[in-house]
Amino acid sequence: MPWNDKFECMPVEELNKFQLKKLKETVAWVCERVPFYKQKLKKLGVTADSIKTLADASKLPFTVKNDLRDNYPFGLCAVPLKEVMRVHASSGTTGKPITGPYTIEDLEQWAECMARNLWSAGVRKGDIAQNAYGYGLFTGGLGFHQGANLLGCTVIPTSSGLTERQVMLMKDLGTTVLFSTPSYALTIAEQAEAMKIDFKKLPLRVGVFGAEPWTVAMRKEIEERLGIKAMEAFGLTELGGPGTAFDCEAQDGLHINEDHFLAEVVDPATLEPLPIGEQGELVLTSLQRRAMPMLRYRTKDITKLRREKCSCGRTLIKMNKITGRSDDMLIISGVNVFPSQIESLLLDIEEVEPQYMLIVRKKGYLDQLIVKVEAKKEAYEAGPQKRKDVENKIVKHIKSIMGVTVDVNLLEPKLLTRSEGKAKRVIDERPKN
Ligand code: ADP
Ligand code: ZN
């Protein structure tokens, strides 16, 4: 039974009706309160009354990250600041961050969406949940915290970092559930190995991982290494943080909290909506948010939607695991390459660790992709010939599956910096023009 079977298992027709009602309300809400949307809607000649079916969402304007930057900090806020109970911000690695204001209702909805996510992952009252997502402006920490609170489990707010202490607490407090990015889960696993602590002997049972792309191969690696079930969370600051979509016991795609988010997939080049089942850019419209509703937010995340009967009983539409963002896509000698494709091929090779870095350079007129990956200790210590053989094996494997020639650099174990949050795995050294 899901956390909220009324909405998670609602017959699709009824759910769509509910979405339509909420979509019209949202359009009316922003049209009245947010000058940015008011002008855009006026220009397009669209009002809440123009929305007669869900497909009419395609009449609405898109919103992109730059719109949030341009309207920093509160230009897109639809309520007076005194109604805002909290403000989060995205990591904003470049330039100004984008802000996410929440009313009390927004915070409640967010906790509800996260509770569904955690419940679906098998988290229950009585669980001891160690939350190693960063607390602070980042939505991960408090997002998981509130969801876990709603379920009534014990939360240990370790935040990210201080990995040795994470492992110690995990052991001493009997942590049963871990929340973190997938890359940080691996860092924690390595630290435990270094401390000679066998994860499989600890009560840890399940992890809920998200905030960055990770492949199915990586999920299996984490499940084996930590001896747990690795479940998933998906979300973004612009739509209120984690809680947008989550996987279920079928571990085959993520259910979108459709009563809160209307999902579309569009062709990233033409921006035309694509039929369900076709791959493209995920576009999300919030349906119940108050402080900062989003119309057709272009996530840049590449996926496809699936409307199908799921063995878990949920009727919520599913999206495929995100394999990458359109802005992460590399074009190497004319071939489109997602870092995640390289990740999953590297994980096929038994002599390497799941720790890698991709470097893109210009070599004459061509792009060159350098794959740096750590060797397992035994492989590394087997000498230069063995290392060369492993490098060649990886080059061949990538060439045979993807058709691109890469340079592989096998590294000494533990050479790469370990991730404590979102892993940075691509360095693009090509000159910007
Ligand atoms: P920032 O944009 O600063 O990185 P966010 O935390 O808002 O901050 O990042 C949201 C993005 O993180 C999503 O658009 C997506 O690219 C990525 N993301 C979040 N969860 C997942 C997931 N489960 N799988 C793949 N990517 C994810
Ligand atoms: Zn399901």
Same domain, 97 and 161: yes
For residue 22, being part of any structural domain is answered with yes
**CA gap 43, 45 in Å, rounded:** 5
Instruction: Provide the pLDDT for residue 11.
Output: 98
pLDDT over 80 at 25, yes or no = yes
Same domain, 216 and 301: yes
pLDDT tens sequence across 151-190: 999 999 999 999 999 999 999 999 999 999 999 999 999 9
CB-count burial class (<10 Å; 0-12, 13-18, 19+) for 306: middle
pLDDT over 80 at 259, yes or no = yes
Percent of the chain scoring above 90 in pLDDT:
93
Owning domain of residue 16: 1-327
- Residue located nearest, by CA, to atom 19 of ligand 1: 211
Same domain, 25 and 174: yes
Which atom of ligand 1 is the closest one to the Cα of 254? 23
| Average pLDDT over every residue of 137-150 | 97
d(CA 211, ligand 2 centre) in Å? 20
pLDDT over 70 at 433, yes or no = no
**CA gap 44, 375 in Å, rounded:** 56
Which atom of ligand 1 is the closest one to the Cα of 213? 25
The C-alpha torsion from 303 through 307 and 311 to 316, rounded to 10°, is 90
Percent of the chain scoring above 70 in pLDDT:
99
**CA gap 213, 145 in Å, rounded:** 21
- Residue located nearest, by CA, to atom 24 of ligand 1: 213
d(CA 367, ligand 1 centre) in Å? 27
Given 327, 361, 376, the domain boundary residue is 327
Pair 149, 112: CB distance under 8 Å: no
pLDDT tens sequence across 281-291: 999 999 999 99
Pair 26, 61: CB distance under 8 Å: no
d(CA 324, ligand 1 centre) in Å? 10
SS (H, E, C) 275-312: CCCCCEEEEEEECCCCCCCCCCEEEEEEECEECCCCCC
pLDDT tens sequence across 335-394: 899 999 999 999 999 999 999 999 999 888 888 999 999 999 999 999 999 999 999 999
Given 307, 327, 347, the domain boundary residue is 327
Pair of tokens at residue 366? 């061509």
- Residue located nearest, by CA, to atom 11 of ligand 1: 236
- Per the structure, how many domains does the chain have? 2
Query: Band of the pLDDT at 97, cuts 50, 70, 90?
Result: confident
Ligand 1 neighbours, Cβ below 6 Å, are: 90-92, 139, 210-213, 232-237, 299, 301, 322, 325
* 3-class DSSP state of 242: strand
Question: Who's near 418: CB < 8 A, 6+ residues apart?
Answer: 163, 186, 187, 190, 355
Instruction: Provide the pLDDT for residue 378.
Output: 97
Instruction: Provide the pLDDT for residue 332.
Output: 87
66: left (phi over 0), alpha (psi -120 to 50) or beta: alpha
pLDDT over 90 at 302, yes or no = yes
| Mean of per-residue pLDDT scores for the chain | 96
pLDDT over 80 at 91, yes or no = no
Same domain, 258 and 171: yes
For residue 433, being part of any structural domain is answered with no
pLDDT over 90 at 92, yes or no = no
For residue 387, being part of any structural domain is answered with yes
- DSSP codes joined into one string, 65-127: HHHHHHTTTTTT--S-GGG--EEEE---SSSS--EEEE-HHHHHHHHHHHHHHHHHTT--TT-
- Amino acid code (one letter) for 22: K
Instruction: Provide the pLDDT for residue 334.
Output: 84
Q: Which of 29, 3, 17 is nearest to 105 (CA)?
A: 29
**CA gap 333, 143 in Å, rounded:** 41
